[in-house]
Amino acid sequence: MARAFVGSNPTRPNCQNAVFKPKTAFCIGQSESTAYKTVAYREANPARHTAYPADLSYQSVACPDQFTAMAQMRKPWTREELILAFNLYCRTPFGKIHSTHPAVVELAKYIGRTPSAVSMKMCNFATLDPAQQKRNIKGLAHGSKQDFLIWEEFNENWEGLALQSQTVLSRLNIHTESEAALDREFAETETSRTVRARLVQRFFRDAVLSSYDYTCAMCHLKILPLLNASHIVPWSKDKSLRANPRNGLCLCALHDRAFDRGLITVANDNRILVSSRLKAQKPCLLHQAAFESIEGKPILLPHKFKPDAKAIEYHRDMIFLS
């Protein structure tokens, strides 16, 4: 049976008190468990741990911060922690899901876990995302059943779970990208807008914009203050779709207004369609650049939460001015 040894790695002097193994000793499935048990044994029996022989070749399994993350993986996640992690997954561009991302570090601090544990949980949620499955994205081999249940719960009740998670974020005083923008948007109409609407809109905006990596799906503009999360099926038409990021497109202010007014839409093959009412106008330079130049071109598809085909069909049939 393969053995793990505790000590300092001579080839990595900055990695003290780590666990090492012969390069051919363990398969991936065994190493984390074996390493974890070895460190636990050493902490309980500091005088008995075995120094590794000098004539063996070693490969590092993990450093102390990684063992902390592994230990926390064994600590059950509460439902509140899971919905906060999923909320963060929704509003974080996929390429930025890592333990050094400021939002990951901040959430980890508030829930008492390591950034590595939070980022691993977010990667687990990614494996449940159909868009990521098509890209063959994989998380931990044995993801928690709770992760699946939270994913299903969000997909069945986006507005309810968005409200719950945003309420907890507000209680913890964790601010998101859309705070300032929505504060300005709702400032003059706060009396007619409920807190519920504000929180749900905040979740929707963050989830949609991050899915498109803060880029307009039609003109590729990347100026954040000029970007909106556009509802495909309008807010007033279907309550179940209000917070669903698959009912959203990231559009610049101009294309957002044109989409909302039915002057542009998206075809079944994701090409941009321009209304004949726009074509009838005498084109100026902006008209040509904003509409004529993009007609027939495919929209930018997001890394996650791709637009729902039925929502796009609804917009084309009920809102688009053909």
Q: pLDDT digits over 83-111, tens only?
A: 999 999 998 987 888 899 999 999 999 99
Give the pLDDT confidence score for residue 68 in this predicted structure. 56
First to last CA, the chain: 72
Domain that holds residue 129: 75-156
Q: pLDDT digits over 263-307, tens only?
A: 999 999 999 999 998 887 677 888 888 999 999 999 999 989 999
Give the pLDDT confidence score for residue 309 in this predicted structure. 95
Give the pLDDT confidence score for residue 161 in this predicted structure. 87
Query: What value does the mean pLDDT of the chain take?
Result: 77
- Pick from 54, 72, 90: which residue ends a domain? 72
Q: Does residue 63 sit in the same domain as residue 94?
A: no
- Residue 109, class by beta-carbon neighbours within 10 Å (0-12 exposed, 13-18 middle, 19+ buried)? middle
The band of 170, judged by pLDDT with boundaries at 50, 70 and 90, is confident
Inside any domain, residue 280: yes
Inside any domain, residue 48: yes
Cα(43)–Cα(213) distance, rounded to whole angstroms?
44
Mean pLDDT of 142-146: 73
Buried b / exposed e across 67-87, counting CB within 10 Å, b at 16+? Answer: bbbbebbeeebeeebbbbbbb
Inside any domain, residue 241: yes
Mean pLDDT of 170-181: 63
The band of 126, judged by pLDDT with boundaries at 50, 70 and 90, is confident
Say if CB 21 and CB 59 are below 8 A apart: yes
The band of 252, judged by pLDDT with boundaries at 50, 70 and 90, is very high
Inside any domain, residue 104: yes
Inside any domain, residue 293: yes
Q: Which residue has better confidence, 183 or 29?
A: 183
Q: Which residue has better confidence, 96 or 20?
A: 96
Which residues lie across from 23 on neighbouring strands? none
- Pick from 47, 72, 97: which residue ends a domain? 72
The overall longest dimension of the chain from CA atoms, in Å, is 86
Mean pLDDT of 32-52: 44
Lowest mean pLDDT among 115-124, 257-266, 279-288: 279-288
Q: Does residue 235 sit in the same domain as residue 303?
A: yes
pLDDT higher than threshold 50 for residue 36: no
The band of 73, judged by pLDDT with boundaries at 50, 70 and 90, is low
Write the CB contacts of 48 (distance below 8 Å, at least 6 apart in sequence). none
Specify the residue for token string 């008209």: 287
Which of 34-43, 133-142, 271-280 is the most confident on average?
A: 271-280
Closest to 72 measured CA to CA, from 107, 103, 115, 106? 115
* Element housing 168 (H / E): helix 158-171
